Amino acid sequence: MIFFFLSLFFPAMASGQVYHTQKELVASYIDSTVNEDLEGAVLGLLAIGPEGDTIAAFNPSTLLIPASNMKLVTTGLALDALGSSHVYETGIAYSGEISGGTLHGDLYITGGGDPTLASDDSIAATLPELFGRWTEMLEDAGIRKISGHIIGDDRYFDTDMPEEQTWQWDDCGTYYGTGISGLTFFENIQSFDVRPGNHTGDKVAIRESFPVCPWMEYRYNCTTGEAGTGDRLYYYTSDLRPCGEMRGTFASDRAAKTLECSNKFPAYTCASYFADWIGKAGIECVGGPADTGYFLPENGTAGRDSLTVLGKTGSADLLRIAFETNHESNNLYAETLYHTIGKEICGSGDYAPSAQAVRKLLEDMGLDPGKVCIRDGSGLSRHNLLSPSFICSFLLAMTESPEFGSFIYSLPSPGSDGTLKGVMAGYDRELTSRIRLKSGSMTGVKCFSGYIFPTRHDADNPESGGKPAVFSIMINNSLLSQYRMQGIIDRLLYLLSGR
């Protein structure tokens, strides 16, 4: 018999019979699930009640891949360290001098790490609004011509690597594996319109969508697959060279779709689009676009401290960015928060300083980062290893943070729009409204961690709902479908809720 301990969940369940029944129900479900449905997989679970009592424990100290449960740590630390009102600023600056309506030098778009820049996310300014503000800055400065370049400056994070080195190669070309940039553009996404050919073996029809990047070399080594084989297209690209290759098959019975992939040159893309924008506004840029990396201008770039700043635009505040990060499980946003922690705490957003900053903040919370492995902020790396015990300890530590209300606000409930839309479907809404959590999924991985309140929690009132319990449910190495694993976790959430 598998050892499983369940204690009293809420004071309302104080009678011995209710407590005994609840314990038996959960223990029996875990026993049958691990022995039958999850045979060969690893289940880790810990739930701790409002008063610190252990509600349930099963392999609580086992290190497991957390997938996007890593975003709990990232968003929580970012809110605690930076504050919910933190904003990212993007500057318009120049080198040289202005005379006679001409900028004799280069115009710089100085990225400040804003992950929402030119995004179609509802929290971001639209591209016309953003470029309109930047153009007004030029006009207010009397600039009608630029003799040099428009330079997309992405040096903010002090790193030459957009992706964490342990990310899988086939993830790095996807929209969720774009990697960070000091100057992001359209969430560093490159879109393609794809449709199958008329017959199996025909070439897949592919057209570059948005943004259009004429400097890229595209190779389309992909064919139309047999009906029923689905979308097996993979895009491979890197920041080492402006080249991308689409490989794989696209089934003959698939409808045309827009495939979102990774753009490894967002700073140059931003500069190129802005050069085109101001050209239509009557402001000539003689040198055209450039960046501070691969498309470096012939005379190099000036240091940021030597530039003259015309103005800045700001992002949405961190509270709204954290909300989108956790509701939509946005990897780019999470990675940006992770590296922003490094920038603010250690003075650099490169990988080693960011990891050092995260370790320091965890230690300040009384946690031991030496008992886990954290490689990124999004959870995309399969080298991340957390335990249910560590996650629950972190969630408990966050209840003492001045930003706890903001953290809870950022977390969705089952059934909310986003990645939890189909979670606990059919369960009572009064029950699901008491749960705030983050999901995490990969092939063979399903993890859910968060809070369960005694009564309905109102996101606009952090004090509502009472003192919460914390929980972490982690499944690894499972051959079950995501649907089957979700059903198991739905049932566990129901039982842990005390109903």
**How many Å apart are CA 384 and CA 70, to the nearest integer?**
8
Averaged pLDDT score across all residues of the chain: 92
- Per the model's pLDDT, the better-predicted residue between 457 and 347 turns out to be 347
**How many Å apart are CA 384 and CA 361, to the nearest integer?**
18
DSSP-derived secondary structure for 185-237: SGGGEEEEEEE--SSTTSBPEEEE-SS--TT-EEEEEEEEEPTT--EEEEEEE
Q: Is the pLDDT of residue 139 over 50?
A: yes
Whether residue 93 is found in the same domain as residue 15: no
Whether residue 312 is found in the same domain as residue 323: no
pLDDT band at 142 (very low <50, low <70, confident <90, very high): very high
240-254, 389-403, 456-470: segment of lowest average pLDDT:
456-470
Final residue in a domain of this structure, among 316, 348, 382 = 316
**Look-up of token digits 């003689």:** 286
Whether residue 305 is found in the same domain as residue 332: no
Whether residue 140 is found in the same domain as residue 159: yes
Residues 6+ apart with CB under 8 A from 376: 70, 164, 166, 167, 335, 338, 384
Whether residue 354 is found in the same domain as residue 439: yes
Q: Is the pLDDT of residue 116 over 60?
A: yes
DSSP-derived secondary structure for 5-39: EE---SGGG-SHHHHHHHHHHHHHHHHHIIIIITT
pLDDT band at 22 (very low <50, low <70, confident <90, very high): low
Give 431-440 pLDDT, tens digit per residue.
999 999 999 9
pLDDT band at 12 (very low <50, low <70, confident <90, very high): very low
Region 475-495: mean pLDDT is: 94
Whether residue 229 is found in the same domain as residue 270: yes
What's the number of domains the chain is made of? 2
pLDDT band at 30 (very low <50, low <70, confident <90, very high): confident
Whether residue 367 is found in the same domain as residue 441: yes
pLDDT band at 5 (very low <50, low <70, confident <90, very high): very low
Burial class (CB within 10 angstroms; exposed 0-12, middle 13-18, buried 19+) of 426: exposed
Give 279-312 pLDDT, tens digit per residue.
999 999 999 999 999 999 999 999 999 999 999 9
- Predicted local distance difference test score (pLDDT) of residue 16: 34
- Per the model's pLDDT, the better-predicted residue between 99 and 3 turns out to be 99
Final residue in a domain of this structure, among 316, 332, 354 = 316
**How many Å apart are CA 69 and CA 65, to the nearest integer?**
9
Residues 6+ apart with CB under 8 A from 270: 109, 111, 117, 118, 152, 183, 185
CB 248 within 8 A of CB 222: yes
Q: Is the pLDDT of residue 33 over 90?
A: no
Whether residue 240 is found in the same domain as residue 192: yes
Whether residue 340 is found in the same domain as residue 415: yes
Whether residue 266 is found in the same domain as residue 330: no
pLDDT band at 7 (very low <50, low <70, confident <90, very high): very low
Segments forming the whole domain that contains residue 123: 87-316
- Predicted local distance difference test score (pLDDT) of residue 460: 67
- Per the model's pLDDT, the better-predicted residue between 21 and 448 turns out to be 448
Q: Is the pLDDT of residue 417 over 80?
A: yes
Final residue in a domain of this structure, among 316, 338, 360 = 316
Strand partners for 487: none
**How many Å apart are CA 44 and CA 25, to the nearest integer?**
18
For residue 47, the domain's CATH number is 3.40.710.10
Whether residue 148 is found in the same domain as residue 229: yes
Whether residue 183 is found in the same domain as residue 324: no
23-37, 227-241, 244-258, 371-385: segment of lowest average pLDDT:
23-37
Q: Is the pLDDT of residue 250 over 50?
A: yes
pTM higher than 0.95: no
